[in-house]
Amino acid sequence: MAGSPRVPPWTRVPRQDGRRFVVTGANSGIGLATARALAEAGAHVVLAVRSRDKGEAAAATIQGDVEVRALDVADLSSVRAFADGTGAVDVLVNNAGILGVPFGLSVDGIELHLATNHVGHFALTNLLLPRLTDRVVVVSSQSHRSGVLELDDLDWSRRGYSAYAAYAQSKLANMLFLAELQRRLTATGSTLRVTGAHPGSTATAITANTGNGFKTWIGSWGHGLVGMRPWQGALPTLYAATMDVPGNTYLGPHRFREMSGWPVSVGRSRSASDPDLARACWEESESLSGVRFPL
């Protein structure tokens, strides 16, 4: 596209032999593309998925060293069970997500977007931190820019519910988590890194459960028409997971409005850069999850 900066293509993941990755939501879309590329680069990849059957079907399409383990990030008991059964991990990729679903609460009483996209990953990360050796990758979205974090109404009991506003709120929470976790790690002297990424516009099935046939069709048709293929949409995540970038780096596609292209460091909203909001979000996430920073 005219006016886009010249950015060299990046498609080759460095060799990852001897390294262990956990990728949540790895049975389809960006997660599957991420897991496939890592396994092909020699990594051992844990596909952390809600449906074991779908996970096994996805694993059968991957050439490399993979295993399938059950994880429902919207269920904190499932998160704890997964963490309890997990040994040393080099990189945790917090990828699983939902978008545009009707109002609902998780088994723990948390609004579904927030439970799936943020709180479950917040708990999983903190539970695994003592066993992590390299980094955490947080997969967010350009939608974080329109997110408004209403810490006193996270369950939408006082606001009129909007599925897309709920999604944007959860993606803003991802960004605040990225920054605050890195701040805390640095303050303890830890060498662990936290990086973030978003896939731009990528053709996946994330809008498959909106509960509205027209919205589901529009989301699928629109992304299918203009979106990148999952292998390219996964590149910012893969770059964030395997390349030597500083903590708190946030990556996305380089072209117009970060919709497509090759991985580059990108900006974030003013709210996503607010340290006071990040600390408040962290405290509320600890309260919701019952999990605290372990270091």
Q: Which residues are tagged catalytic?
A: 167
Largest CA distance in the chain: 51
Tell me the C-alpha distance between 160 and 150, whole Å: 13
Residue with tokens 């496939």: 36
Q: Which residues have C-beta within 8 Å of that of residue 11, sequence separation ≥ 6? A: 235
Residue with tokens 């990040």: 278
Tell me the C-alpha distance between 13 and 283, whole Å: 36
Count of residues making up the chain? 295
3-state SS string for 88-146: CEEEEEECCCCCCCCCCECCCCCEHHHHHHHHHHHHHHHHHHHHEEEEEEEECCHHHHH
What are the DSSP calls for 175-201, one per residue?
HHHHHHHHHHHHHHT---EEEEE---S
End-to-end Cα, the chain, rounded Å = 46
